[in-house]
């Protein structure tokens, strides 16, 4: 006969052993989960650390001008952190630095799909297009970069991008587009004299003399002895035909920096214009006649030099424009004397018309003039501008 008590005892002990077993298994699972999590975290931390180390090495190589070595570094960084956008960007920059533009563009376009408003990515795409002289594409990406998001000081970075675009447009001979960009930059400049002088210098290159002069004068208000701003303002006045003001600013610029060769040459020309113009206001008739005689002699010398340069014989008659000009000048020469010119204003005007025609023709035939001949050509342009 079966023992009821014994049966109950076996059930109790079996139940006890089963609960203990389950508790042990559960404890083991927890331990395994903790160990696995720790191992995964340790592996991930190791991968992050290795990726960071390779990236730092790549940064150093790229900064030191070793893009080929940087390529290896950034690829190793991405091996340990495949989805890291920063490492992908740096790899693209290294590829671009080695001339691997198609691969660089692939990475950059992928990054742009993920983050269209990333300023650095758009700027790098603009630079790639600029290297390939793709003007519309480069301009589009530069503008995207201007209006993208930037960390740090976004205003300064956007201005820097726009100035880089301006330089690209100037290098590509897109003068009007560059001028439009510069006007936009000039409209929102901080009170930084050096920056204003830099933007003004670029405006001079695109013929924006009024805007450039305003910026140069603003720069001089805080830095009155800036040779760059003085020379720039002088050049603006020179290009605007305001030679007395040009001479004043250029003289101060050369006094501040004697190495400003272009400013010194402009100063000489501005002074020559003032000293050679027989039509200057408040000039007496004797001085006008003296200047006209000097100008006529200089123009004849330029005509002879130009003819010799082109192998044309003077005073031999012929159909060449230089020969015709010489014949006309020879007819005027006996009367182109100070004593005669001082008494005959119409003759003085005719002599100067001949001087201007000689200077304009020789500049077209024999190249841009220098020195006194350039001054005479500028006087001719001034007279044309004042005639009805």
CA dihedral 122, 127, 129, 132 (to 10 degrees): -170
How far, in Å, CA of 249 to CA of 255, rounded? 10
In a domain, 59, yes or no: no
How far, in Å, CA of 229 to CA of 199, rounded? 11
Instruction: Say yes or no: 305 and 369 in one domain.
Output: yes
Instruction: Say yes or no: 291 and 308 in one domain.
Output: yes
In a domain, 199, yes or no: yes
Output the 3-class SS for the chain.
Answer: CCCHHHHHHHHHHHHHHHHHHHHHHHHHHHHHHHHHHHHHHHHHHHHHHHHHHHHHHHHHHHHCCCHHHHHHHHHHHHHHCCCCHHHHHHHHHHHHHCCCHHHHHHHHHHHHHHCCCEHHHHHHHHHHHHHCCCHHHHHHHHHHHHCCECCCCHHHHHHHHHHHHHHHHHHCCCHHHHHHHHHHHHCCCCCCHHHHHHHHHHHHHCCCHHHHHHHHHHHHHHCCCCHHHHHHHHHHHHHCCCHHHHHHHHHHHHHHCCCCHHHHHHHHHHHHHHHHCCCCCCCCHHHHHHHHHHHHHHHHHHHHHHHHHCCCCCCCCCCCHHHHHHHHHHHHHHHCCHHHHCCCHHHHHHHHHHHHHHHHHHHHHHCCCCHHHHHHHHHHHHHHHHCC
pLDDT given for residue 41 in this prediction? 59
Instruction: Say yes or no: 291 and 338 in one domain.
Output: yes
Instruction: Say yes or no: 293 and 377 in one domain.
Output: yes
CA-wise closest residue to 308 among 330, 327, 323: 323
Give the predicted TM-score (pTM) of the model.
0.78
pLDDT given for residue 244 in this prediction? 95
Q: Are 280 and 249 in contact (CB under 8 A)?
A: no
Instruction: Say yes or no: 272 and 289 in one domain.
Output: no
Could you say which of 250, 276, 302 is where a domain stops? 276
In a domain, 244, yes or no: yes
The CATH number of whichever domain residue 243 belongs to comes to: 1.25.40.10
Q: Are 95 and 63 in contact (CB under 8 A)?
A: no
How far, in Å, CA of 356 to CA of 361, rounded? 9
Q: Are 367 and 262 in contact (CB under 8 A)?
A: no
Domain residue limits at 239: 194-276
pLDDT given for residue 6 in this prediction? 52
Instruction: Say yes or no: 245 and 199 in one domain.
Output: yes
> Where does residue 340 rank: exposed (0-12), middle (13-18), buried (19+ CB within 10 A)?
middle
Six token digits for residue 288: 């006008």
Could you say which of 276, 311, 340 is where a domain stops? 276
pLDDT given for residue 5 in this prediction? 47
How far, in Å, CA of 205 to CA of 263, rounded? 15
Count CB atoms within 10 A of the CB of residue 320. Answer: 16
Q: pLDDT tens digits for 262-321?
A: 999 999 999 999 999 999 988 999 999 999 999 999 999 999 999 999 999 888 788 899
In a domain, 48, yes or no: no
Provide the domain count of the chain.
2
CA-wise closest residue to 380 among 343, 349, 353: 353
Instruction: Say yes or no: 344 and 368 in one domain.
Output: yes
In a domain, 334, yes or no: yes
pLDDT given for residue 51 in this prediction? 66
pLDDT < 50 positions in the chain: 5, 7, 12-14, 43
Instruction: Say yes or no: 204 and 255 in one domain.
Output: yes
In a domain, 25, yes or no: no
In a domain, 129, yes or no: no
Six token digits for residue 349: 């005007």
pLDDT given for residue 231 in this prediction? 97
pLDDT given for residue 15 in this prediction? 55
Instruction: Say yes or no: 355 and 291 in one domain.
Output: yes
How far, in Å, CA of 122 to CA of 191, rounded? 29
In a domain, 128, yes or no: no
Could you say which of 229, 251, 276 is where a domain stops? 276
Q: Are 121 and 111 in contact (CB under 8 A)?
A: yes
* Residue located via tokens 């998001």: 149
């Amino acid at each position: 006969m079966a023992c009821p008590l014994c049966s109950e005892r076996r059930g109790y002990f079996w139940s006890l052993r089963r609960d203990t077993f389950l508790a042990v298994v559960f404890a083991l699972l927890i331990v395994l989960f903790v160990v696995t999590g720790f191992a995964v975290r340790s592996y991930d931390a190791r991968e992050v650390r290795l990726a960071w180390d390779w990236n730092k090495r790549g940064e150093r190589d790229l900064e030191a001008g070793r893009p080929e070595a940087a390529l290896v570094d950034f690829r190793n960084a991405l091996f340990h952190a495949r989805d890291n956008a920063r490492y992908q960007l740096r790899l693209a920059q290294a590829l671009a630095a080695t001339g691997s533009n198609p691969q660089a563009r692939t990475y950059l376009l992928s990054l742009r799909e993920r983050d269209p408003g990333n300023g650095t990515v758009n700027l790098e795409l603009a630079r790639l297009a600029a290297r390939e002289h793709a003007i519309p594409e480069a301009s589009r990406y530069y503008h995207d970069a201007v209006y993208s998001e930037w960390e740090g000081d976004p205003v300064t970075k956007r201005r820097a991008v726009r100035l880089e675009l301006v330089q690209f447009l100037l290098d590509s001979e897109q003068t009007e587009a560059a001028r439009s960009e510069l006007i936009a930059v000039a409209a929102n400049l901080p009170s930084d004299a050096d920056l204003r002088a830099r933007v003004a210098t670029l405006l001079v290159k695109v013929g924006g003399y009024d805007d450039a002069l305003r910026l140069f004068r603003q720069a001089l208000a805080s830095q009155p002895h800036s040779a760059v701003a003085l020379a720039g303002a002088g050049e603006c006045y020179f290009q605007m035909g305001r030679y007395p003001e040009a001479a004043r600013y250029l003289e101060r610029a050369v006094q501040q920096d004697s190495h400003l060769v272009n400013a010194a040459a402009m100063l000489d020309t501005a002074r020559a214009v003032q000293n050679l113009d027989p039509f200057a206001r408040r000039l007496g008739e004797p001085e006008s006649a003296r200047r006209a005689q000097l100008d006529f002699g200089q123009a004849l010398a330029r005509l002879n030099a130009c003819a010799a340069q082109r192998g044309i014989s003077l005073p031999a008659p012929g159909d060449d424009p230089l020969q015709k000009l010489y014949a006309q000048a020879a007819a005027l020469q006996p009367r182109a004397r100070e004593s005669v010119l001082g008494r005959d204003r119409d003759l003085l005007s005719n002599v100067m018309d001949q001087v201007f025609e000689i200077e304009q023709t020789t500049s077209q035939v024999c190249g841009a003039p220098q020195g006194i001949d350039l001054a005479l050509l500028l006087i001719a342009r001034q007279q044309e501008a004042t005639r009805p």
